[in-house]
Chain A
């Protein structure tokens, strides 16, 4: 399992990995918002957490379709499926998700404070948004894995994966943004929505790999 995580991280970091693309896309989305919204600093600061979350969400959906497709194209997926006795397929999928999140999700979390500055956000709001992204983006990967597995046989499944996955990640988005606002706006709570989002991440970290594993097995025909 560790070997698979290490291999996928290595692949993600080398040429052709989606890490830089995700970060650049995230940056592009955040950078154009002030142009669209106008130079109202207070307004920017107020919508900052929501925009950061939407940007991170879209950026993490971007590379999802390659999660299994690359392995399918070079034949590795067949071998991964055949090792089901030594490594249950759900665990293999889980390992691939972990590696995918470490190379595409975590970098987004790391750059989010810098992008928060572009949105004129308060330090507390930046910190809260980054914390919610850290706990919430894994859920996007785990949910996305199911979509990626369903569309693995389609040559241009990228957009389809995003559209399929989007309805399921909306609760994560809602609770993530809610918690981020809870940290700065006084009557609104932080802990409850944050814990609910963590629960979503944990729930999908189990359900996602099982569903994706089943989809992959069915697709290998």
Chain B
């Protein structure tokens, strides 16, 4: 499988945010999109995920199969907000997403163990701290299988230890043939990731 982005451009009405972004990621490859605030990193991730209509260019899966015909279906999108309901418990939140997204990988309890939050299983999501919420959101990547991870500031709110732990999860995903594209201003310490630097501040 190969994620191919060709000549991607996005426009928010006040001129282009980025133009002519071209890259390709093979199985097991990762891309870090770095740059200052407002450079268009999140917009790029949203455009790849298909949540934002690009003004030009395409993001496609080369060698698409029946299972993963296009980028949205093959991707986990970890957005800047956690996509969890504050009124539901951590377990309820995660098991809902597992059922809804399908293709279960790790069990919910296993995934919570992986991120070290098994003790919060039955707490309402709103009781958790910012960092813990982010980690639960990261656990969502583990409970359903998707070959492509599109991450938008995945480590925001995480402490140093959790950041390292997250880097390990990303490395593991790449080692098992997964593709990662992450927009971040804090570099994730994973060796062998390509880097795409976004330069100036968009108008």
Verify A78–B83 contact, CB threshold 8 A.
Answer: yes
Residue of A nearest to B95 (CB): A3
CA distance A75 to B53 in the complex (A): 18
- Asked if A7 is at the interface of the complex by the 8 Å CB criterion, the answer is yes
What are the interface flags for A67-108 relative to B under an 8 Å C-beta threshold, 1 for contact and 0 otherwise? 000000111101111111111000000000000000000000
CA distance A11 to B125 in the complex (A): 13
Question: How many Å from the CB of A82 to the closest CB on chain B?
Answer: 5
CA distance A80 to B101 in the complex (A): 9
Verify B83–A74 contact, CB threshold 8 A.
Answer: yes
- Asked if A42 is at the interface of the complex by the 8 Å CB criterion, the answer is no
Residue of A nearest to B10 (CB): A221
Verify B79–A16 contact, CB threshold 8 A.
Answer: no
Question: How many Å from the CB of A20 to the closest CB on chain B?
Answer: 14
Q: Which residue of B73, B81, B96 contacts A75 across the interface (Cβ within 8 Å)?
A: B81
Instruction: Chain B residues near A10: list those with CB within 8 A.
Output: 88, 92
Binding site for A on B (CB under 8 A): 49-53, 69-70, 72-73, 75, 77, 79-88, 92, 96-97, 99-102
CA distance A175 to B203 in the complex (A): 54
Verify A79–B96 contact, CB threshold 8 A.
Answer: no
Verify A3–B99 contact, CB threshold 8 A.
Answer: yes
Verify B100–A220 contact, CB threshold 8 A.
Answer: no
Instruction: Chain B residues near A76: list those with CB within 8 A.
Output: 83-85
Q: A84-B72, A85-B70 are in contact. Are A11 and B85 (CB under 8 A)?
A: yes
Instruction: Chain A residues near B83: list those with CB within 8 A.
Output: 74-76, 78-79
Verify B84–A220 contact, CB threshold 8 A.
Answer: no
Ranked nearest first, the 3 interchain pairs of A and B with the lowest CB-CB distance are A75-B81, A85-B73, A3-B99
With contacts defined as CB atoms under 8 Å apart, how many contacts are there between chain A and chain B in the complex?
A: 73
A-B CB contact pairs (8 Å), 22 listed: A3-B96, A3-B100, A6-B96, A7-B96, A10-B92, A11-B85, A11-B87, A16-B87, A74-B81, A74-B86, A75-B79, A75-B83, A76-B85, A78-B49, A78-B77, A78-B79, A79-B77, A79-B79, A81-B51, A82-B51, A83-B100, A87-B100
Verify B100–A78 contact, CB threshold 8 A.
Answer: no
Q: Which residue of B50, B69, B85 contacts A82 across the interface (Cβ within 8 Å)?
A: B50
**Interface size (A, Cβ < 8 Å)?**
25
What are the interface flags for A7-35 relative to B under an 8 Å C-beta threshold, 1 for contact and 0 otherwise? 10011001110000000000000000000
Residue of B nearest to A12 (CB): B87
Verify B84–A74 contact, CB threshold 8 A.
Answer: yes
**Chain B contact residues: over half helix, strand or loop, or mixed?**
loop
Q: Which residue of B53, B77, B92, B102 contacts A221 across the interface (Cβ within 8 Å)?
A: B53
Instruction: Chain A residues near B85: list those with CB within 8 A.
Output: 7, 11, 74, 76
Instruction: Chain A residues near B72: list those with CB within 8 A.
Output: 81-85
Q: A3-B99, A86-B73, A87-B100 are in contact. Are A75 and B82 (CB under 8 A)?
A: yes
- Asked if A4 is at the interface of the complex by the 8 Å CB criterion, the answer is yes
Verify A4–B100 contact, CB threshold 8 A.
Answer: yes
Instruction: Chain B residues near A7: list those with CB within 8 A.
Output: 85, 88, 92, 96
Instruction: Chain A residues near B102: list those with CB within 8 A.
Output: 86
Question: How many Å from the CB of A1 to the closest CB on chain B?
Answer: 8
CA distance A220 to B52 in the complex (A): 6
Verify B49–A82 contact, CB threshold 8 A.
Answer: yes
Verify A11–B88 contact, CB threshold 8 A.
Answer: yes
Verify A82–B75 contact, CB threshold 8 A.
Answer: yes
Residue of B nearest to A1 (CB): B100
Residue of A nearest to B50 (CB): A82
Instruction: Chain A residues near B101: list those with CB within 8 A.
Output: 79, 83, 86
Instruction: Chain B residues near A6: list those with CB within 8 A.
Output: 96
CA distance A83 to B83 in the complex (A): 14
Residue of A nearest to B100 (CB): A3
